[in-house]
Amino acid sequence: MKSSDNLWEKATHPAPVAPPRRSFALTGHSVAIDPRHNAVRPDLADIRLAEYVFAPHYAAPMPCTVTRTAILHAESSSDSETLAELQPGEIFECLEVLREVAWGVSPDRRLAGYVDRDALDQIK
């Protein structure tokens, strides 16, 4: 066996450390993500978008059924822009529950936003 093939020697005698890099380059194409149609915020994103966006945290969607007519809002406040009116029986994929509202995606409408959590089943 040649000494260069000796793994123990390589592990105990590591190669000299390279000087720190002064710059770096990103490769590949950036993907424009529209937060109205994709569940992505600066602090949290849908796990299905992990290959496209960086977020400090990712969440797996929890499918819920809309139990009563509910407004899908652009922001967590009830006086924010209305994106859609969800009907009973529609699916809403919840990613986060914040007090009285749930944030997630309406897959049928391809819209992300906030809805009253009381209008969804399986969220207690």
pLDDT for 22: 76
Q: What is the rounded CA–CA span in Å between residue 119 and residue 79?
A: 17
48 pLDDT higher than 70? yes
Q: Where are the domains of the chain?
A: 60-124
pTM attached to this predicted model: 0.74
Q: Which of the 8 DSSP states describes residue 59? A: E
- Contact criterion met (CB below 8 Å) for 38 and 112: yes
Q: What is the rounded CA–CA span in Å between residue 13 and residue 64?
A: 56
pLDDT above 70 as % of the chain: 79
Mean pLDDT of the chain: 85
pLDDT in tens, 66-106: 999 999 999 999 999 999 999 999 999 999 998 899 999 99
**CATH fold group of domain 60-124:** SH3 type barrels. (2.30.30)
- Contact criterion met (CB below 8 Å) for 37 and 111: yes
